[in-house]
Amino acid sequence: MKEKVVLAYSGGLDTTALIPWLKENFDYEVICCCVDCGQGNELDGLDERAKLSGASKLYIENIIDEFCDDYIMPCVQAGAVYEHKYLLGTSMARPGIAKKLVEIARKEGASAICHGATGKGNDQIRFELGIKALAPDLKIIAPWRMTDVWTMQSREDEIAFCQAHGINLPFDASHSYSRDRNLWHISHEGLELENPAQSPNYDDLLVLGVTPQKAPDKETEVSITFEAGVPKTLNGKAMKVSEIITELNKLGGENGIGIIDIVENRVVGMKSRGVYETPGGTILMEAHDQLEELILDRDTMETKKKLGSQFAQIVYEGKWFTPLREAIQAFVESTQQYVTGEVKFKLYKGNIIKAGTTSPYSLYSESLASFTTGDLYDHHDADGFITLFGLPLKVRAMKMAEVKNANK
C-alpha cells in the first residue's frame, strides 16, 4: 500500500502541478485538502481539477466561522497590528489551515503533509510551525526548497510539466499579482509593487473595493454593538461574526476603507512590499478600539497596547500554537469582560468618522471631564499631586545646578 501525503491545495497552478510531481518523485497517494477561510469563487471547479491532476481525493473544509471566532477575534480584541499597518489577514489564517491539514492527515493515516509556500516567504514558517506543534511525527514536504528535485522555476515550466503529464488546465503563462484571499482580506504582491518607487496600479489591483477618490460623495452610517468584546449586531441586526465581517467588507469596500501600501519586514530577513485590502477588518478593529477607549483604565490600556504589539509579532511569525500566545490571549480575554456597548460612525471616502459611543461600563464622567468644578475633583488637590509627581525632576535640576556651581 502506498504512503499517503496530504497536500495543502488552493487549486492554483503551483499546487496543481504538485499533484503529479508528488506521485512521480515520491510515489505517494495524493490527498488534496483545501481549507475554506472565505476565498469565495476561488474554490469553483476544484474537485474536477484535483481529480484530473491525479489526486485520489479532495477535501474542501469550511472553517469560516472557526476562523472568525478562534483566530480573527482574538487578534481584534488584542489590537494586534503588525508594524503599525498590517492587520494579519494571511497570518491569522495559517494556523487554522495547519490544524485542519493535521486533522485530515490523521483521518487518512497519512505520513506527510506538503505545502506550496515559497522558500522566501513567511507562509512556509507558519505552516510548518503549526504542523510541528500539532503533529511532530509527520513529515513535511516543501518543494520550493527542494531545488534538486523541484526544478520548475516559472509558470511556463509548470504548465509544460502538467501538459507532459496529460493535464490541460485553464491557466496561462502571463504573470499577474500574487494574491492571498480570505474573509478578512486580500493581499497583493508582484508586478509594479516590487519597486517601492512605483505607485500601485489600483485600477487593475483592487478586488474588494475602490480607492477613496472613487468612493461615493456621501456618508454611510454604521452602528455596531459589542458584548464582552465580541460584535453582536450590525445596524440593529443580530449576526454571526462572519456575517458582520462579510457585510462590513461590502460597506467598507464601497467607501474606499482599509487599503494599505506597506513595506514590511518578513520573518526570513528581507523586506517585501505589498498592498492589502481589509475593508471590513479595518472598520471592526476601529469600532472595537473606539469602545475600549471608554471602558479600559489607563494602566490596562497601556499594558494591553504593548502586549497587542507582541501578539501581532507572534501571529506574524507563525507561533500561534505556543504557550506565550495562550498567555497573552488569556490576559486580553480578561480585559474584554466589560467591553460592551454601541459604536456609531460614518464611512466617507476612506475615512471612519466617529459618531458616538455608549457603554454601561463607561469610565467617562462628564462631570469630571467638564471645565466646571464637580464634586469628585477639587482643583486644589492638583497642587500636592504636581509637587510629588514632579519631585524627581526638581531634585535632579537642583543637583545639576549644585554640581555646576561647584565646578566654577
SS (H, E, C) the chain: CCCEEEEECCCCHHHHHHHHHHHHHHCCEEEEEEEECCCHHHHCCHHHHHHHCCCCEEEEEECHHHHHHHHHHHHHHHCCCECCCECCHHHHHHHHHHHHHHHHHHHHCCCEEECCCCCCCCHHHHHHHHHHHHCCCCEEECHHHCCCCCCCCCHHHHHHHHHHCCCCCCCCCCCCCEEEECCCCEEEECHHHHCCCCCCCHHHHCCCCCCHHHCCCCCEEEEEEEECCEEEEECCEECCHHHHHHHHHHHHHHCCCCEEEEEEECCCCCEEEEEEECHHHHHHHHHHHHHHHHHCCHHHHHHHHHHHHHHHHHHHCCCCCCHHHHHHHHHHHHHCCCCCEEEEEEEECCEEEEEEEECCCCCCCHHHHCCCCCCCCCCCHHHHHHHHHCHHHHHHHHHHHHHHHHCC
Would 79 be classed as within a structural domain?
Answer: yes
Q: Spell out, as residue ranges, where the chain has pLDDT lower than 70.
A: 173, 175, 367, 369-374
CA distance 44 to 209: 22
Query: What is residue 60's predicted lDDT score, i.e. its pLDDT?
Result: 96
If asked whether residues 119 and 209 sit together in one domain, one would say no
If asked whether residues 126 and 234 sit together in one domain, one would say no
Q: Is 203 in the active site?
A: no
Query: What is residue 139's predicted lDDT score, i.e. its pLDDT?
Result: 98
> What backbone phi and psi angles, to 5 degrees, belong to 366?
-65, -35
If asked whether residues 142 and 39 sit together in one domain, one would say yes
Domain region containing 271: 178-296+339-358
Would 21 be classed as within a structural domain?
Answer: yes
Q: Is 181 in the active site?
A: no
Q: Which of 10, 14, 49, 273 is catalytic?
A: 14
Would 189 be classed as within a structural domain?
Answer: yes
If asked whether residues 82 and 183 sit together in one domain, one would say no
pTM: 0.94
CA distance 280 to 253: 8
Would 332 be classed as within a structural domain?
Answer: no
CA distance 14 to 49: 13
Among 114, 139, 164, which residue terminates a domain? Answer: 164
Angle 89-108/298-316 helices, nearest 10 degrees?
Answer: 60
Do 296 and 304 touch, CB atoms closer than 8 A?
yes
Q: For residue range 265-278, what is the model confidence (pLDDT) as tens digits? A: 999 999 999 999 99
Would 389 be classed as within a structural domain?
Answer: yes
Q: What's 281's domain CATH number?
A: 3.90.1260.10
If asked whether residues 29 and 57 sit together in one domain, one would say yes
Query: What is residue 318's predicted lDDT score, i.e. its pLDDT?
Result: 98
Amino acid letter, 29: E
Q: Which of 47, 65, 111, 178 is catalytic?
A: 178
Q: Is 94 in the active site?
A: yes
Among 135, 164, 193, which residue terminates a domain? Answer: 164
Among 164, 197, 220, which residue terminates a domain? Answer: 164
Would 135 be classed as within a structural domain?
Answer: yes
Q: Which of 10, 36, 53, 123 is catalytic?
A: 123
Number of compact structural domains in the chain: 3
Strand duo 4-8 + 29-36: pairing: parallel
If asked whether residues 142 and 87 sit together in one domain, one would say yes
If asked whether residues 288 and 344 sit together in one domain, one would say yes
Would 102 be classed as within a structural domain?
Answer: yes
Do 37 and 64 touch, CB atoms closer than 8 A?
yes
Query: What is residue 312's predicted lDDT score, i.e. its pLDDT?
Result: 98
Query: What is residue 408's predicted lDDT score, i.e. its pLDDT?
Result: 77
If asked whether residues 118 and 188 sit together in one domain, one would say no
Q: Is 178 in the active site?
A: yes
Q: Which of 94, 126, 181, 325 is catalytic?
A: 94
If asked whether residues 289 and 383 sit together in one domain, one would say no
> What backbone phi and psi angles, to 5 degrees, belong to 310?
-70, -40
Do 121 and 268 touch, CB atoms closer than 8 A?
yes
CA distance 7 to 116: 8
